[in-house]
Amino acid sequence: MDLKVLADIAKYEKRFDAAIKLANSFKCSYFIPFIIDPEIGVLLPAPGFPQTIPNGDVWNSFLQSTLTKKYYSDRLPYPDLENIQPATGFAGPEGSVMVMLGGRPKPREVAPLLDLFPLLVQLFTQEQAFKTAEVRVELADKSAAKAEKLANTIDLMRLKLKELLVRQKRDKNDIEVLMEKKDEFMNVASHELKTPIASMKAYLQILNTKLTSVNDEGIIDLFNRANKQVDKITVLVNELLDVTKIQAGKMEYDSAVFDISELLQEVVTQVQVTAQSHHINVEKNPSVLVEGDRHRLDQVINNLLSNSIKYSPNADKVIVCSTLADDQVKVVIKDFGMGIPEDQHKLIFDRFFRVSETSHRYSGLGLGLYISAEIIKRHHGQIGLESSEKGSEFYFTLPVHRPDRARDKKG
Ligand code: ADP
C-alpha cells in the first residue's frame, strides 16, 4: 500500500482520486467508505466522495448485509446504473462500511487497509461534524439575515402605520371642524330664517281677518296655499333649530304630569283636519298618566302621524293604538303605505337619514325621527319600528307616572 496514496486520502480535495489509486492497488476500480450521518442516522459516502449513488435501495440492502455479515459480496451499479460491477463490503467501526468495487478482494488481502480504516472513520466523522457545524453556522447566518430583513420590514410598517394614524387623526379633526362649521351654519341659518317666517305668518293672519269681506274664491285659495307653505317652512326651520339644540345639549324640557290619552286624541284631531285623504282610526286609548314635556311629546306623535300619512299616499287609513303593560304605555302608529326596507330599519333614526328609493318624492330633511328618538330617550322611553307586511308600524313607550315613586324621588 502506497503511503503517499494513504496520506492523500486524508486530504479532502485529493480524496476521491487517491481512493481510486488505492482501489487499483487491490485490483479494484473504486474504493468508497461509508459512515453514519448523525443528523439522519443513515449510511452515506464519506465527505469528499460523490454523495449520490445509483439505485440507493440496492446499495442500502448491500450495506445492511455487510453490517450483519461483516464481510459481504454482490454486484452493484456504479458510477451509474449501466455499470454493474462486483462489489465487496467490509464492516468497520461505529457502523461504518468500506466498499471495494470492480473486484472481490478477500479480507486478508485488504487487512492493512482494514487496520487503518478506524483512523479514517475518525477523520471522516470529524470532518462531517465540522461540515454540519459549518452548515449550521451558514443557516444561522441566513436566519439572522432574514430576521434583520424582517425587523426592517416591521420597522417600516410601524412607521407607515404611524403615518397613517397621524393622517387619520388629522382627517378626523378636519371632519370634526367641518361638522362644527356645518352645525354653526345650521344654527345661524335657522335663527335668521325664524324671524322673517314668524313675520310672514303674522302678516298672513292679519290678511286672514281682512279676507272675511272678500268673496273672491281664487284669492282665498291662493291665501290658503301660501299659509300651508309657510307652515311647511316653519316645521323645517323648527327641526333645524331642534337639531342644533340637541347637538349643543341645550334642548330644554318642561316636565308636567298629564294624561297621554288626551294628548294623543288632541294630535289625532289636529292632524285629521289637514289629512282628509286618510281616516285616523284610534283603536284603543286608555287614560294613562305620564310625566314629561307635553309640547315635545306632541311633536313626536305629530311627526309619526304626519309621516304615516305622508308616506302612504295610496292608502286611506292609519291606525293608532295605545296599550298599557308593565308600567309602560305603548303607542303604536300603523300605516299601509310604502313601508321601510328591513335593512334600513336601524338607520331610520339617524340624523338626515331618508330612505333613498322613496323619500326624494316628498319634502323633508330626515330630521323628524332623529328628534323624536332624542325626545323619547330623554323621557326614559323607547322608540322603534316593527316591520309589517305592508306599510310601517312605528311605536314609542313611556313609563307610567307613579305618584309614590315621584314622592320617593323627592323625599
Ligand atoms: P322626513 O320625513 O322629513 O324625511 P323623518 O326623520 O321624519 O324625516 O323620516 C326619515 C325618513 O324615514 C323619511 O324620509 C322616509 O324615507 C322614512 N319614513 C319615515 N316614516 C315613514 C313611514 N311611515 N313610512 C315609510 N317611510 C317612512
- 256-410: what fold? Heat Shock Protein 90 (3.30.565)
Q: Are 103 and 27 in contact (CB under 8 A)?
A: yes
- 121-161 pLDDT tens trace: 999 988 888 877 777 788 888 888 888 888 888 888 899 99
Angle between helix axes 368-378 and 217-247 (nearest 10 degrees) is 50
| Predicted local confidence at residue 411, as pLDDT | 38
pLDDT value of position 26: 92
For residue 375, report the distance from its CA to the centre of ligand 1, in Å: 17
- 382: helix, coil or strand? strand
Residue bearing the CA closest to ligand 1, atom 25 = 339
* Spatial distance between the Cα atoms of 58 and 76, rounded to a whole number of angstroms: 7
- Which residue has a Cα nearest atom 21 of ligand 1? 307
Instruction: Judge if the upstream peptide bond of residue 79 is cis by omega within 30 degrees of 0.
Output: yes
Report the C-alpha gap between 381 and 395 in whole angstroms. Answer: 10
Point out the ligand 1 atom lying closest to the alpha carbon of residue 355: 16
Q: What is the rounded CA–CA span in Å between residue 326 and residue 316?
A: 33
- Cβ of 306 less than 6 Å from ligand 1: no
The three-class DSSP label of residue 114 is helix
Separation of 299 CA from ligand 1 center, angstroms? Answer: 15
The secondary structure of 12-70 as a DSSP string is TTTHHHHHHHHHHHTT-SEEEEEEEETTTTEEEEPTTS-S--SSHHHHHHHHHHHHHHS
Is the distance from the beta carbon of residue 299 to the nearest atom of ligand 1 less than 6 Å?
A: no
The answer to whether the CB of 383 is under 6 A from ligand 1 is: no
Measured in angstroms, how far is the CA atom of residue 353 from the centroid of ligand 1? 8
Ranges under pLDDT 70 in the chain? 1, 388-389, 405-411
CA 277 to ligand 1 center in whole angstroms: 18
Cell reading at 65 = 448485509
Domain ranges of the chain: 3-109, 256-410
Centre of ligand 1 to C-alpha 307, Å, is: 6
